[in-house]
Copies of this chain bind each other. A is one copy, B any other.
Amino acid sequence: MTTVDHLRQVRLGNLRTVLLALVDRPGSRADLAARTGLTKATLGNLTEPLLASGILVEEPATLAGMGRPSKPLRFHPDGPVAVGAEINVSHLAVETLGLDGETLERRLVPADMRGATESEVLDRVAELIREVTGPRKLLGAGLAIPGVVHDGIVIRTPNLPGLVGSPLAEGLGRRLDLDVELDNEANLAALAHLWPHHLAGEDFVHVTADVGIGAGVVLNGEVYRGVSGFAGELGHVVIERNGVPCTCGSRGCVERYAGLDVILREAGRRTLNSLRKALDSGDPKAARAVRDAGEALGVGLATLMNLFDVPTVVLGGSYALLHDHLSAAVQSEMDGRVLAGGERHTRLLASPLGEFAVARGAAGLVTRRAVQQPERLFA
Segment with Cβ contacts to B, from A104-112, A118-126, A299-307: A299-307
Q: Are A303 and B219 neighbours in the complex by a CB distance under 8 Å?
A: no
Residues of B within 8 A of A305 (CB): 230
- A residues 314-349 near B (Cβ < 8 Å) are 336-337, 339, 341-344
Q: Are B229 and A309 neighbours in the complex by a CB distance under 8 Å?
A: yes
Q: Are A306 and B339 neighbours in the complex by a CB distance under 8 Å?
A: no
A side interface size, CB within 8 A: 57
Residues of B within 8 A of A242 (CB): 240
Taking A227-B309, A251-B337 as given, write out 12 further A-B residue pairs in contact, using a Cβ cutoff of 8 Å, ordered by the A residue number: A1-B37, A10-B10, A155-B342, A203-B226, A230-B309, A232-B307, A233-B339, A234-B307, A238-B239, A238-B299, A241-B299, A249-B337
- A residues 235-271 near B (Cβ < 8 Å) are 236-242, 248-251
In angstroms, Cα B339 to Cα A229, docked, is 11
Residues of B within 8 A of A114 (CB): none
Q: Are A311 and B227 neighbours in the complex by a CB distance under 8 Å?
A: yes
In angstroms, Cα B339 to Cα A341, docked, is 32
Residues of B within 8 A of A227 (CB): 203, 309-311
- A residues 324-379 near B (Cβ < 8 Å) are 336-337, 339, 341-344
Among A1, A6, A241: residue with most chain B CB under 10 A: A241
**A307 CB contact (under 8 Å) in B37, B156, B241, B307:** B307
Q: Are A248 and B339 neighbours in the complex by a CB distance under 8 Å?
A: yes
**A308 CB contact (under 8 Å) in B10, B226, B240, B339:** B226
In angstroms, Cα B310 to Cα A296, docked, is 25
Q: Are B226 and A156 neighbours in the complex by a CB distance under 8 Å?
A: no
A228 interface residue per 8 A CB criterion = yes
A150 interface residue per 8 A CB criterion = yes
Question: Shortest beta-carbon distance, A166 to chain B, in Å?
Answer: 13
Q: Are A341 and B230 neighbours in the complex by a CB distance under 8 Å?
A: yes
A148 interface residue per 8 A CB criterion = yes
Question: Shortest beta-carbon distance, A249 to chain B, in Å?
Answer: 6
In angstroms, Cα B219 to Cα A181, docked, is 23
Residues of B within 8 A of A148 (CB): 339, 341-342
**A231 CB contact (under 8 Å) in B1, B37, B308:** B308
Residues of B within 8 A of A224 (CB): 219
Q: Which residue of B lies closest to A342 (CB)?
A: B155
Question: Shortest beta-carbon distance, A257 to chain B, in Å?
Answer: 9
A278 interface residue per 8 A CB criterion = no
A153 interface residue per 8 A CB criterion = yes
Q: Are A237 and B153 neighbours in the complex by a CB distance under 8 Å?
A: no
Question: Shortest beta-carbon distance, A335 to chain B, in Å?
Answer: 9
Q: Are A342 and B153 neighbours in the complex by a CB distance under 8 Å?
A: yes
| A228-B303 contact, Cβ under 8 Å, with A241-B239, A249-B337, A337-B236 | no
In angstroms, Cα B232 to Cα A306, docked, is 7
Residues of B within 8 A of A341 (CB): 148, 155-156, 228, 230
Q: Are B344 and A230 neighbours in the complex by a CB distance under 8 Å?
A: yes
Q: Are B238 and A344 neighbours in the complex by a CB distance under 8 Å?
A: no
Residues of B within 8 A of A240 (CB): 239-242
